[in-house]
Amino acid sequence: MEGNWALTKKRARLEQRARIVQMIRAFFIGREYLEVETPQRLPGNAPEAHIDAITSDNSFLHTSPELCMKRLLAAGYGKLFQICHCWRDGERGKRHLPEFTILEWYAADCDYRRLMDECEILLRTLVAQEHFTYQGETIDLSGPFERLTVAEAFEQYATLGLAEALETARFDELLTLEVEPHLGRRRPTFLIEYPSELAALARCHPERPHVAERFELYIAGLELANAFSELTDPTEQRRRFDADEAERRAAGKPPYPVPEKFLTELATMPEAAGIALGLDRLVMLLTDATIIDEVVAFSPELL
Amino acid sequence: MLSTSDLRKGTKLMIDGEPHVIAQFDFSKPGKGQALYKCKLRNMITGALFDRTYRSGESFEPAALHESDMQYLYQDESGYVFMDQKSYEQTTLAAEALGDQKYFLVDNMEVKILMFGERGIGITLPNFVNLRVSQSDPWVKGDTAAGNNKPATVESGYTLQVPSFVEQGSLIQIDTRTGEYVTRVKE
């Protein structure tokens, strides 16, 4: 009897994946980040209109370790990273798994611009060459990555400008169908300056409050990471949570309790920046895989 | 009614009174944004293909189809001929209605034919079928790394990736739902 070929055939990529994870750990430990593990089952997640948690008894599996990581920041841990599984209900496609792996890191006294610099250094460290090839396309890492504002990206690639896209509630659709395929071609792109309506947990720019200090990193059209200069104002954070929670409930989604401990402790959180990076997608890029199934041992259908 | 979470390759929907099947499916979603469900739909009567993108919150009518147990008889110029196991009536499906499934038909195979009214419009195959490899390049000595694969063509003309140790003439099992290699079959 021969082994299960669907598993056997992944060996080369799983070996590369293990090496990439080891290099990531070495990178952050070398930069004096503390590796932490936070609970994967929570009383509630940060309310987000379009991210759905999976329930587990009377709790929720975390959709990201964000709230616990920031409570540690608020308690004085200055530099933290975590590699963990997260769960998002209903997300399954060529680039999505409902259970996937996130790399998150946070630094006190940091902002999103310095995080962009750190992303560049991380990618150059992992690739160890000036470029790599993904699906026949050469991605150049030797120079600075492209920094494109959301408004510029809509201007260049979408059939509507940013303001119109927001007014007609077509932002996500145009971003997905018209903008994203152009991002991170030939060199990685940081999509920066999200409109404040889409700030999530990001701080707004001090001089230009209509834009949030949020970026997303794209390579070869693939969304790889989302980052903020963190919002540290509990009142504003509560207002945003309430708005997102109202939107969730209006859509018939299960209520989350207000994360009161997080909101209380946010008052003591220093200025900080944090980022969540899709580790499976990073492995896809670095091992030239077209679908996410190729870089994990078990996709749900193999269970 | 079906929701967007029911959409996947193979889901059958009623659109404008006609049954359609999702031939290709992709889920895409900006991390913090709204999900899009990109579908290539095939009209199961006319065979016409078209693209449609759905958003979370939309609902769908499932296609009103029933299944009949039939046996595959033969192929002729009109298409693929099946016989109802109860009534002995024959139904013919065109090659276009079968797509890649035509490669997995074996004489006398018992299948389920999807009926829209009196008309056969699709097929459900057994999950696994055994077919013989008719062409594949020989194993290269020294190529021992586990996980290496190579293309092979089976007797029906279908080409797929198989492990490097599979030889020409071997009988292999294929998963008809994915079209992928499962294992060698002992004879």
For B55-113, write each residue's pLDDT tens digit: 988 999 999 899 999 999 999 999 999 999 999 999 999 888 888 899 999 999 999 99
Per the CB < 8 Å rule, is A173 touching B55? yes
Helices (H), chain A: 5-8, 11-30, 66-74, 112-127, 150-157, 162-167, 171-174, 234-250, 260-266, 279-286
Residue that is last in its domain, among B43, B62, B81? B62
3-state secondary structure (DSSP) of residue A131: strand
- Report the residue of A91, A150, A172 to disrupt the B interface, i.e. the one with the largest count of B CBs within 10 Å: A172
Q: Which two tokens stand for residue A99?
A: 């259970």
Enter the ipTM: 0.86
Kindly provide the b/e burial profile for residues B13-44, where b requires at least 16 CB atoms within 10 angstroms of the residue's own CB. Answer: bbeeeebbbbeebebbbbbbbbbbbbbebbbb
Q: Which residues of B touch A45 (CB under 8 A)?
A: none
- Chain B residues lying within 8 Å of A171, measured CB to CB: 33
CB contact under 8 A, A92 and B149: no
pLDDT in tens, A74-127: 999 999 999 999 999 999 999 999 999 999 999 999 999 999 999 999 999 999
Do B95 and B43 fall into the same domain? no
Does the beta-carbon distance from A50 to B149 stay under 8 Å?
no
**Confidence (pLDDT) at B140:** 67
Q: How confident is the model at residue B45 (pLDDT cuts 50, 70, 90)?
A: confident
- Looking at the 3D structure of chain A, how many domains does it have? 1
Residue B176 C-alpha, separation from nearest chain A C-alpha, in angstroms: 15
Contact B19, B41 (CB under 8 A): no
Query: If pLDDT is split at 50, 70 and 90, which confidence band does A1 have?
Result: low
Interface test with A, best of B32, B39, B51, B144 (most A CBs within 10 A): B32
pLDDT in the model for residue B2: 92
Domain match, B23 and B7 both: yes
Question: Token pair of A248, please?
Answer: 């969730």
Domain extent for A98: 5-302
CA dihedral A150, A154, A160, A165 (to 10 degrees): -20
Residue B172 belongs to domain with CATH number: 2.40.50.140
CB-CB neighbors (< 8 A) of B32 in chain A: 48, 50-51, 198, 200, 226
One-letter amino acid identity for A238? Answer: R
Partner residue facing A90 (CB), from B5, B36, B145: B5
The CATH number of whichever domain residue A175 belongs to comes to: 3.30.930.10
CB atoms A216 and B31 under 8 Å: yes
Nearest to A42 by CA among A61, A57, A26: A61
For chain B, the domain total comes to 3
Average pLDDT over residues A247-273: 94
A164: confidence class by pLDDT, cuts 50, 70, 90: very high
Give the C-alpha separation, B62 to B113, whole Å.
17
Chain A: give the shortest CA distance to residue B37, in Å. 9
Q: Are residues B57 and B14 in the same domain?
A: yes
| Pair B168, B117 in one domain | no
Q: How many CB atoms lie within 10 A of CB B135?
A: 13
> Can you count the helices (H) and strands (E) in chain B?
1, 16
CB contact under 8 A, A11 and B147: yes
State the angle between helix axes of A279-286 and A112-127 in degrees (0 to 180), rounded to the nearest 10. 40
Hey, is A284 helix, strand or coil?
A: helix
Kindly state whether residues B72 and B26 are assigned to the same domain. no
The CATH number for B54's domain is 2.30.30.30
Strand partners, A147: A190
Choice between B57 and A73, residue whose per-residue pLDDT is larger: A73
Residues B17 and B45 in one domain: yes
Q: What sign for the dihedral angle of Cα A266, A269, A271, A277?
A: negative
Q: Answer yes or no: do B40 and B87 share one domain.
A: no
Name, in order, each residue with C-beta under 8 angstroms of B14's C-beta and a sequence gap of 6 or more. Answer: B20, B60, B61, B62, B63, B64
> Which residue in A241, A218, A226 sits closest to A275, CA to CA?
A226
Cβ pair B27:A180 closer than 8 A? no
Q: What are phi and psi of A146, to 5 degrees?
A: -65, 140
Please provide the average confidence, as pLDDT, over all residues in chain A. Answer: 96
Q: Can you tell me the mean pLDDT for A2-27?
A: 94
Residue A245 pLDDT exceeds 80: yes
Query: Using alpha carbons only, what angle is made at residue A288 by residues A287 and A290, rounded to the nearest 5 degrees?
Result: 125
- Yes or no, beta carbons of B56 and A5 under 8 Å apart: no
Q: Which domain holds residue B108?
A: 66-124
Q: Which of A162, A176, A290 to mutate to test the interface with B (most CBs of B within 10 A)?
A: A176
Q: pLDDT-derived band of residue A252, with 50, 70 and 90 as boundaries?
A: confident
Residue B76: how many other CB atoms lie within 10 Å: 9
Residue A9: list chain B partners with CB under 8 A: 147, 149, 163
Give the closest of B26, B30, B145 to A93, CB-based. Answer: B26
